[in-house]
């Protein structure tokens, strides 16, 4: 249920539950929401001496642990019953620690090295690492039609457009598949299909030419997993086990569902809130497994982060050549130079210049977030066994802020180019996100998430959403606007006075496109409001009329004069 | 005397039969009455539309947004109602046309029926745009 989402502790931290739900969706190995993707804002603080790249921001491990303890103490028992944290610096994990309860019924505590969490879409990073391993081996190519790897599979991507879908598109969510947010969550493990059957039966439409616009897709990630498995002539689960988990010694990690009984470690129970406490609940299963069925401990995720920070190797064990790891961490799709963009499988986070990359994830009742700061050799992983609005990402954000992993935002400097007000009026309008469904009842989510842009005077613009997220932006260069009080960025692409695309730095999992007048929130609200009002008044009128008639009839029957007359 | 005067039991049976005949006749009369059907369609349209909104919001509020994915029974019922609303909108619209054509009801009632038909069409249009109706 989500979207990759990393946000941080600045003014945009608490933007509503619905957005985080979507973030969750997108990266859910559910949404989406949120969610599908995620708003990546960034926590910032004033740089401290000694936090220059290469020096390591966590010089004092005791201070780090005390800080994390404080951060988690504020949340355990209130936001979530349990959580697990892993922080690596350089080539070693400097903190792996469990907090709270893995299962409130059994009173079982979280242990970082034993308690397994469902990490949702963070598992996509493992899938895309396996793809890059295949590229390194010469078995796969990022720019070849994926259909060429599917000769022995029933799955075929239709040739809707001239350009084929490639693994580069799948790793950057630019294949152009219609989003469904739902990675096909099922409550009964017996309802899980084979990956081949699932990808065949539930193939979404191709609604955009590949390579053009980002639109977070669980289907695309699942397809990438299927392609790499087919190319190796094995199953996805076996491939990942052999290529990544076994070499790295990630003994507590698996994409299998349910987690096998003989798998080392204990799976944390999912929880739902019940007033002031938490109740355990049934787990769910992700049919699009490469997109979000990974279960892992914080210790295993620390190893995975070390492999990426260590140019593909942990100690003497190498899963990727240094060149391959570097290639994976390079940009593969640019939405706009001024905003966050896509590496391979990772999206950039926070300030586009900060070189922070990550991914967030969620299932229905688990959430997680993974962030790498390669310039500092730092990796952060947080997971919880409930689905609070933003626990893992806010924890990551607070760590980023506390240890200065990105520079503080500066006051936006208005562009000296004339015509700012005209440009502000050009970009005014209502916009919808590409990663939200365009069919089915979840289409309503798209309507609720529209972004409204209005001129705010002096070349500034103001953005608002239904959930009350109102922000001001200053034009720093033509059609590029910096957030006032933050470091988010809006970048418009305009052709002949019409906006084609709006990219927001904090929403890397999609781009915004203008909404036609008849699909705007005001039109929908007016039509639905008028209709419901009319229906309600009519029912009230009919009811009143019926009651009045009944009362009159009774009055007539009870009238003594009338009775005498009878 | 006995032959000429039915027993109390026989009288009751006759009255019961008469009641059943009256009800059957009444139902038949209503089901073949365009005006009654048109009014029933509009009442159904108003009731089901509001019921849909209440049920949908109730399920999402109590079960969370995830119910849009997991589709519990109440959500399945909710998302099945837009199709009923579309049918009732069509019936209400046809009923309004017939009412004007045959000039039954008062002018005010005919206008009311027509307004409900328009509201139903608008409501159904938005349900389509929101993905509740697969058109």
Give pLDDT tens digits for A198-214. Answer: 999 999 999 999 999 99
Residue B104 has pLDDT above 90, yes or no: no
Considering only CB atoms, B65 lies closest to which of A21, A531, A535, namely: A21
Mark whether B73 and B41 lie in a shared domain.
yes
Distances (CA, A) of A296 to A171, A381, A392: 22, 11, 15
Tell me the per-residue pLDDT of A295-341, one tens digit each, with 9 for 90 and over: 999 999 999 999 999 999 999 999 999 999 999 999 999 999 999 99
Q: How far apart are CA B22 and CA A161, in angstroms?
A: 66
Q: For A117-121, A161-165, A437-441, which range has the lowest pLDDT when averaged over its residues? A: A437-441
Residue B14 lies in a domain: yes
pLDDT, greater one: B12 or A371: A371
What ranges in A295-413 are assigned the alpha helix state H? 298-309, 322-329, 391-402
Q: Does A524 touch chain B (CB under 8 A)?
A: yes
Mark whether B23 and B44 lie in a shared domain.
no
Q: Read off the DSSP letter of residue A505.
A: T
**Over chain B, what is the mean pLDDT?**
85
SS3 A384: strand
Residue B27 has pLDDT above 80, yes or no: no
Q: Which residues of A touch B112 (CB under 8 A)?
A: 538
Q: How confident is the model at residue A555 (pLDDT cuts 50, 70, 90)?
A: confident
Residue B74 lies in a domain: yes
Count of domains forming chain B: 2
Closest approach of B16 to chain A, Cα-based (Å): 24
Could you tell me which chain B residue has the CA closest to the CA of A448?
B130
Which of A143, A120, A92, A53 is closest to A344 using CA atoms?
A143
Q: Which residues of B fall below an 8 Å CB-CB distance to A? A: 42-43, 45-47, 49-50, 53, 65-66, 68-70, 79, 112, 115-116, 119-120, 122-123, 125-126, 129-132, 134
Q: Summarize the confidence of residues A513-531 as an average pLDDT.
A: 94
Q: Does A98 touch chain B (CB under 8 A)?
A: no
Which of A174, A205, A179, A28 is closest to A503 using CA atoms?
A174
Residue A116 has pLDDT above 90, yes or no: yes
Q: How confident is the model at residue B6 (pLDDT cuts 50, 70, 90)?
A: low
Of B53, B55, B65, B85, which to mutate for an interface test with A (greatest number of A Cβ within 10 Å)? B65
Mark whether B28 and B38 lie in a shared domain.
no
Q: Summarize the confidence of residues A127-133 as an average pLDDT.
A: 98
pLDDT score at A4: 39
Q: How confident is the model at residue B88 (pLDDT cuts 50, 70, 90)?
A: very high
Closest approach of A441 to chain B, Cα-based (Å): 5
Which residue reads 């309600």 in tokens? A536
Mark whether B72 and B19 lie in a shared domain.
no
Mark whether B69 and B98 lie in a shared domain.
yes
pLDDT score at A564: 46
Q: How far apart are CA A130 and CA A320, in angstroms?
A: 9
C-alpha triplet A297, A298, A302: angle, nearest 5°:
120
C-alpha triplet A158, A32, A432: angle, nearest 5°:
75
Q: Summarize the confidence of residues B70-82 as an average pLDDT.
A: 91
Mark whether B97 and B113 lie in a shared domain.
yes
Task: Name the residue ranges covered by the structural domains of chain A.
Answer: 1-411, 420-519, 531-565
**Over chain A, what is the mean pLDDT?**
88
SS3 A386: coil
Q: Does A525 touch chain B (CB under 8 A)?
A: no
Residue B39 lies in a domain: yes
Q: Does A529 touch chain B (CB under 8 A)?
A: no
Q: Which residues of A touch B76 (CB under 8 A)?
A: none
Distances (CA, A) of B46 to A89, A91, B52, B54: 63, 66, 10, 12
Q: Summarize the confidence of residues A46-59 as an average pLDDT.
A: 49
Percent of chain B with pLDDT over 70: 82
Residue A436 has pLDDT above 80, yes or no: yes
Task: Give the per-residue SS3 of A403-420.
Answer: CCCCCCCCCCCCCCCCCH
How many A×B Cβ pairs under 8 Å?
Answer: 82
Task: Give the per-residue SS3 of A266-277.
Answer: EECCCEEEECCE
The tally of CA atoms less than 13 A away on the side-chain side of residue A307 is: 26
Of B77, B126, B128, which to mutate for an interface test with A (greatest number of A Cβ within 10 Å)? B126
Considering only CB atoms, A444 lies closest to which of B116, B125, B130, namely: B130
Q: For A252-266, B11-25, B55-69, which range has the lowest pLDDT when averaged over its residues? A: B11-25
- Token representation of residue A24: 């969750």
Whether B122 and A519 lie within 8 Å, measured CB to CB: no
Of A1, A274, A531, which to mutate for an interface test with B (greatest number of B Cβ within 10 Å)? A531
Q: Does A364 touch chain B (CB under 8 A)?
A: yes
Mark whether B39 and B104 lie in a shared domain.
yes
The tally of CA atoms less than 13 A away on the side-chain side of residue A97 is: 17
Residue A21 has pLDDT above 70, yes or no: no
Residue B134 lies in a domain: no
Q: Read off the DSSP letter of residue A59.
A: -
**Contacts (Cβ under 8 Å, ≥6 apart) of A197:** A154
pLDDT score at A474: 95
Q: Please name the CATH architecture into which domain A420-519 falls.
A: Beta Barrel (2.40)
Residue A496 has pLDDT above 60, yes or no: yes
Closest approach of A457 to chain B, Cα-based (Å): 34
pLDDT score at B10: 66
Task: Identify the domain containing residue B99 by its residue range.
Answer: 34-129
Mark whether B86 and B109 lie in a shared domain.
yes
Tell me the per-residue pLDDT of A67-87, one tens digit each, with 9 for 90 and over: 999 999 999 999 999 999 999
Closest approach of A519 to chain B, Cα-based (Å): 8
Q: Summarize the confidence of residues A369-374 as an average pLDDT.
A: 96
Q: Which residues of B touch A542 (CB under 8 A)?
A: 43
A1-411 fold: Beta-lactamase (3.40.710)
C-alpha triplet A450, B67, B135: angle, nearest 5°:
60
Q: Summarize the confidence of residues B78-102 as an average pLDDT.
A: 95
**In this structure, what are the phi and psi dihedrals at residue A368, rounded to the nearest 5 degrees?**
-155, 165
pLDDT score at A426: 96
Could you tell me which chain B residue has the CA closest to the CA of A285?
B70
Residue B135 lies in a domain: no
Closest approach of B116 to chain A, Cα-based (Å): 7
Residue A432: in which H helix or E strand, if any? strand A429-433
Q: Read off the DSSP letter of residue A81.
A: S
Q: How confident is the model at residue A561 (pLDDT cuts 50, 70, 90)?
A: low
Task: Give the per-residue SS3 of A112-144.
Answer: CCCEEEECHHHHHHHHHHHHHHHHHCCCCCCCC
Tell me the per-residue pLDDT of A225-277, one tens digit each, with 9 for 90 and over: 999 999 999 999 999 999 999 999 999 999 999 999 999 999 999 999 888 89
Contact (Cβ atoms closer than 8 angstroms) between residue A148 and residue A165: no
Please report the ipTM that was assigned to this predicted complex.
Answer: 0.83
Residue A186 has pLDDT above 90, yes or no: no
Q: How confident is the model at residue B12 (pLDDT cuts 50, 70, 90)?
A: low
pLDDT score at B134: 74
Q: How far apart are CA A26 and CA A3, in angstroms?
A: 3
Q: How confident is the model at residue A23 (pLDDT cuts 50, 70, 90)?
A: very low
Q: How confident is the model at residue A112 (pLDDT cuts 50, 70, 90)?
A: very high
Mark whether B8 and B38 lie in a shared domain.
no
Mark whether B21 and B42 lie in a shared domain.
no
pLDDT score at A317: 95
Considering only CB atoms, B69 lies closest to which of A1, A530, A532, namely: A1
Q: For A35-49, A134-148, A158-172, B52-66, which range has the lowest pLDDT when averaged over its residues? A: A35-49
What is the Cα gyration radius of chain A? 26
Q: Does A73 touch chain B (CB under 8 A)?
A: no
pLDDT score at A409: 75
Considering only CB atoms, B69 lies closest to which of A30, A532, A535, namely: A30
Could you tell me which chain B residue has the CA closest to the CA of A24?
B66
Contact (Cβ atoms closer than 8 angstroms) between residue A249 and residue A306: no
CA A428 to chain centre: 27
Q: How far apart are CA A309 and CA A357, in angstroms?
A: 11
Residue B67: in which H helix or E strand, if any? helix B67-70
Q: Summarize the confidence of residues A158-185 as an average pLDDT.
A: 94
Mark whether B43 and B13 lie in a shared domain.
no
Considering only CB atoms, B131 lies closest to which of A1, A18, A443, namely: A443
């Amino acid at each position: 249920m989500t979207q990759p989402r990393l946000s941080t502790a600045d003014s945009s931290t608490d933007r509503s539950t619905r957005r985080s739900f979507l973030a969750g969706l997108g990266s859910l190995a559910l949404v989406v929401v949120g969610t599908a993707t995620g708003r990546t804002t960034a926590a910032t603080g004033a740089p401290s001496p000694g936090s220059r790249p290469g020096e390591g921001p966590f010089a004092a491990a005791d201070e780090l642990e005390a800080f994390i303890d404080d951060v988690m103490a504020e949340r355990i028992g209130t936001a979530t019953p349990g959580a697990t944290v892993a922080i690596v610096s350089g080539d070693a994990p400097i903190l792996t620690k469990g907090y709270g309860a893995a299962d409130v019924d059994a009173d079982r505590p979280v242990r970082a090295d034993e308690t397994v969490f469902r990490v949702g879409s963070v598992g996509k990073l493992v899938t895309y690492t396996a793809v890059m391993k295949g590229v390194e081996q010469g078995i796969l190519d990022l720019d070849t039609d994926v259909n060429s790897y599917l000769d022995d599979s029933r799955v075929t991507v239709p040739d809707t457009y001239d350009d084929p879908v490639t693994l580069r598109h799948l790793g950057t969510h630019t294949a152009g598949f219609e989003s469904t947010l739902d990675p096909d969550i099922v409550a009964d493990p017996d309802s899980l299909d084979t990956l081949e059957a699932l990808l065949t039966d539930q193939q979404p439409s191709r609604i955009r030419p590949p390579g053009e616009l980002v639109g977070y897709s669980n289907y695309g990630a699942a397809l990438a997993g299927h392609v790499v498995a087919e190319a190796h002539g094995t199953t996805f689960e076996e491939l990942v086990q052999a290529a990544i988990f076994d070499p790295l010694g990630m003994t507590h990690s698996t994409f299998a569902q349910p987690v096998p009984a003989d798998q080392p470690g204990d799976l944390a129970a999912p929880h739902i809130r019940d007033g002031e406490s938490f109740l355990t609940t049934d787990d769910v299963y992700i049919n699009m497994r490469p997109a979000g069925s990974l279960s892992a401990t914080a210790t295993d995720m620390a190893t995975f982060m070390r492999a990426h920070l260590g140019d593909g190797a942990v100690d003497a064990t190498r899963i990727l050549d240094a060149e391959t790891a570097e290639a994976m961490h390079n940009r593969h799709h640019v939405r706009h130079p001024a905003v966050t963009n896509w590496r391979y499988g990772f999206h950039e986070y926070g300030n586009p210049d900060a070189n922070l990359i990550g991914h967030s994830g969620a299932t229905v009742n688990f959430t997680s977030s993974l962030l790498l700061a390669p310039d500092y050799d730092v990796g952060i992983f947080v997971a919880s066994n409930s689905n609070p609005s933003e626990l893992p990402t806010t924890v990551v954000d607070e760590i980023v802020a506390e240890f200065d992993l990105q520079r503080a935002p500066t006051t936006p400097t208005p562009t000296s180019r004339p015509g700012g007000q005209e440009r502000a009026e050009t970009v005014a309008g209502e916009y919808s996100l590409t990663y939200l469904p365009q069919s089915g009842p979840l289409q309503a989510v798209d309507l609720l998430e529209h972004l409204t842009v209005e001129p705010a005077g002096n070349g500034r613009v103001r953005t608002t959403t239904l959930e009350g997220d109102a922000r001001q932006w200053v034009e720093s260069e033509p059609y590029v606007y910096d957030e006032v009080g933050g470091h988010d960025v809006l970048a418009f692409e305009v052709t002949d006075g019409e906006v084609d695309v709006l990219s927001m730095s904090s929403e890397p999992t999609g781009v915004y496109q203008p909404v036609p007048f008849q699909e705007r929130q005001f039109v929908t609200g007016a039509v639905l409001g008028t209709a419901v009002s009319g229906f309600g008044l009519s029912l009230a009128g009919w009811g009143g009329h019926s009651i009045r008639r009944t009362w009159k009839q009774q009055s007539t029957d009870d009238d003594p004069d009338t009775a005498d007359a009878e | 005397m006995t032959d000429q005067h039915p027993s109390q039991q026989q009288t009751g049976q006759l009255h019961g039969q008469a009641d059943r005949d009256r009800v059957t006749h009444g139902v038949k009369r209503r089901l073949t009455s365009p005006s009654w059907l048109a009014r029933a369609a509009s009442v159904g349209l108003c009731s089901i539309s509001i019921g849909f909104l209440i049920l949908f919001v109730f399920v999402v509020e109590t079960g969370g947004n995830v119910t849009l994915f997991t589709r519990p029974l109440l959500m399945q019922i909710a998302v099945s109602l837009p199709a009923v609303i579309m049918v009732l909108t069509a019936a209400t619209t046809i009923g309004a046309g017939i009412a004007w054509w045959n000039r039954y009801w008062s002018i005010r009632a005919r206008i009311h029926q027509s307004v409900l038909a328009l509201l139903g069409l608008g409501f159904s249009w938005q349900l389509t745009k929101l993905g509740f109706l697969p058109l």
